[in-house]
Amino acid sequence: MRIVFVGPFAMQPKRTMAVRALPLAKALAARGHQVLLLLPPWDHPQDAGREWVEEGVRVRNVRLPPNLPLAYHAVVTWRLLRAALQHKPDVIHCFKPKSYAGLTAWALWQLKRLRGTRARLVVDADDWEGAGGWNELQRYSWPQKRFFAWQERWGLKHCDALTVASRSLETIVWSLGVPAKRVHYLPNGWWPEDAAPSAQEVANLRQKHGLGDAPVALLYTRFFEYPIERAVAIMQVVLAEMPETRWLVVGKGLFGEEEQLLAQARKRDIAQHVTYAGWVPPEQLPAYFALARVAIYPFDDTLINRCKCAVKLIDLLAAGVPVVAEAVGQNRQYIRDGVSGLLVTPGDTEAFTAATLRVLRDAHLADQLREGARKCIRDHFAWTTLAEVAESAYAVQSGPTNQPGLES
- pLDDT per residue over 243-294, tens digit each? 999 999 999 988 889 999 999 999 999 999 999 999 999 889 999 999 999 9
199-380: same fold as 2-191+382-393?
Answer: yes
- Of 350, 321, 132, nearest in space to 230 by CA: 350
Q: How far is CA 144 from CA 6, 139, 201, 402, in A?
A: 21, 10, 45, 38
Mean pLDDT on 366-383: 96
User: What sign does the CA torsion over 360, 363, 365, 366 have?
Assistant: positive
Q: Which CATH architecture has domain 2-191+382-393?
A: 3-Layer(aba) Sandwich (3.40)
pLDDT of residue 404: 55
pLDDT of residue 358: 98
Residues contacting 404, CB < 8 A, separation 6+: 185, 187, 189, 380, 381, 385, 386, 389
**What amino acid occupies position 195?**
A
Q: In what order do the strands lie in the sheet with 2-6?
A: 51-54, 57-61, 34-39, 2-6, 91-95, 120-125, 161-164, 183-185
**What amino acid occupies position 218?**
L
Strand partners, 220: 250
Q: What is the pLDDT of residues 207-238, one digit of tens each?
A: 999 999 999 999 999 999 999 999 999 999 99
Q: Say if residue 194's pLDDT is above 80.
A: no
Mean pLDDT on 398-405: 44
User: pTM for the complete prediction?
Assistant: 0.92
Under CATH, domain 199-380 is a member of which superfamily? Answer: Glycogen Phosphorylase B; (3.40.50.2000)
φ, ψ dihedrals at 89, nearest 5°: -80, 155
Parse the chain into domains and list their residue ranges.
2-191+382-393, 199-380
